[in-house]
Structure 1
Amino acid sequence: MAFTRATGKHRAPSRLTRKSARVAGIAALATTGVIGGMATPALAADEARTVGDTGLTQVIAIDGALADQIAAQAMAQEQQAEAAAKAKAKAVAEAKAEAEARVKAKAEAERKAKARAAEVREAEARAARAAERKRLTSFHLPVAGSYVTTGYKSGGSLWSSGSHSGVDFRAASGSSVVAVGAGTVVEAGWGGAYGNNIVLRMTDGTYTQYGHLASIGVSVGQSVTSGQQIGISGSTGNSTGPHLHFEARTSPEYGSDMDPVAYLRSHGVNV
């Protein structure tokens, strides 16, 4: 069933209804920021009372405090985000710098290691060159570990000149005979009373002779180093048994002899 209002004169809105309408209007004006500016004094007084009665002022104040709190929280979060970003960027930069420092330190260590290795190689090379120079310039006994059995200028009928023009070193047949120093072969072959013999021109301009050899291992014009084998000892020529006849000379010719022992000692040989 539907109900309908009776026709006729309508009643005016109640006081409560009018107040509610005004409160709603005041709230609308408050949201637009024009409350109170355009109201009449009577309406403003009534509205002020109405707002106070409805608690609208308190609601607006609470909303403002909440907005401030939200803004503060947002700012704090923004600051925290900025601080975190800065901390992260700093950590990344520090990690990058540390990695670069490690790479640089490793490269420097490798460079130093290579430099040390190069220095060691150079030192070893210098030592080898020095040893080679010493070997080439040093003098040796013509027969290793031997000794003189017949001295220089010893007299007797065994020598055509009446005296020994060199010294005899003990050397069993087949012993290795070496150049006492570096030089060049100027004679290699039969030498009459010397049998198979070799004459070397030494680097200092002197000459050395090796006689009574069983065999010769070098040829004229050949360069030899100190200590290099040049022949095998024997007893060829005017010899009473295996030994090595050794002479030191000022020229390649017979008769230019000098004391072989003094010669060897002057070159550092212990004889």
Structure 2
Amino acid sequence: MLSPRRHPVLCALLVCALAVLAARPGDPSVGDGVTGGADGSGTGTGTRVARLYRDAAVATQQYERGRHEAEAQRAEARRLEGLLEDQRREIAVLHEDLGRIARAQYRDGGGLPIAARLVLAGSPEELMRGQHALSQAELAVNNAIAKSRRAQARLAADEARAEAAWRALEERNAELAAMKASIERKLQEARTRLQGEADVSAAAGSCRGAVRLDQPETSYTTAWVAPVETYTLSASFGSGGARWAHRHTGQDFAVPIGTPVRAVGAGKVVKVSCGGAFGMEVVLEHRGGYYTQYAHLASIAVDQGERVGTGQWIGQSGTTGNSTGPHLHFEVRVTRELGSGLDPVPWLAARGVRIG
């Protein structure tokens, strides 16, 4: 690792990095501004979780940009370190020149007073030649000293600017990391609260009004999408397990609590339920006589009878009902009821959505 006092002279590159990092992510306190509620007015924990997800994504992007920029600057610094070493070698050569000139002056009588030179000179012409040589030598010494001093001053200034720029860059990266960690901590707290509220509703078997989530503007070029944007596949269709009476009837997507759940295609909400093995769930009817189910939710963002578009947020993932951890249970059926399921993975693949 480079010593901070040996960083390269071209500090402008580091200043550019700081300019890139200066675009700060949104104030983490924005996640505290609750404008939604479980009573259907749009205010509450579900909305706060959705906003914190967005804030966390912005903070992560800013942090990653800063980290990549810092890495690029470090790579450039290693390349430019060679230029700084050239400066140091030049100064060393100047010092050698000074020593050589001083030694030559001493050997040639450069330190003798003018009277002694007159006595020792064989003729006036010889005296003049010697005097000229001494003047040239003194001029060379003065030039070499001035050049050496300028080079040393330039080197010290360059190193000082580089050190200051690197320190500011590292401080900004630390600030971004702290901001990201703060948002993620608030997000985890909000997830816990959201799941607690969902558990109360699921236990009571009573759904509160739809929590209208502030979904960003989206424009899908396809008629079908995956039910969640980022996920890890867990239990698959038809797999066995102690928690299922027969076989697993859908495809599970392991995602954190509060992850926005999307309608895989345009359709109509034909069922909203908040009790039983599936916990909080939504069932949509699509063209062609197919139905999709989204279960174990932590919040529901639609009402029964409502029409939804492709990719519209219909709820947030959770772990309500018969669930061992946060995930989305997704089913494709030929009726709205359990027992008519199809394997969701090839069904989505036939519609241009690759899962995996």
TM-score by length of 1: 0.49
User: Which structure features the higher share of strand residues?
Assistant: 1
Which structure's CA Rg is the greater one? Answer: 1
Q: Return the TM-score normalized by structure 2.
A: 0.38
Structure with larger RCO (C-alpha < 8 A, sep 6+): 2
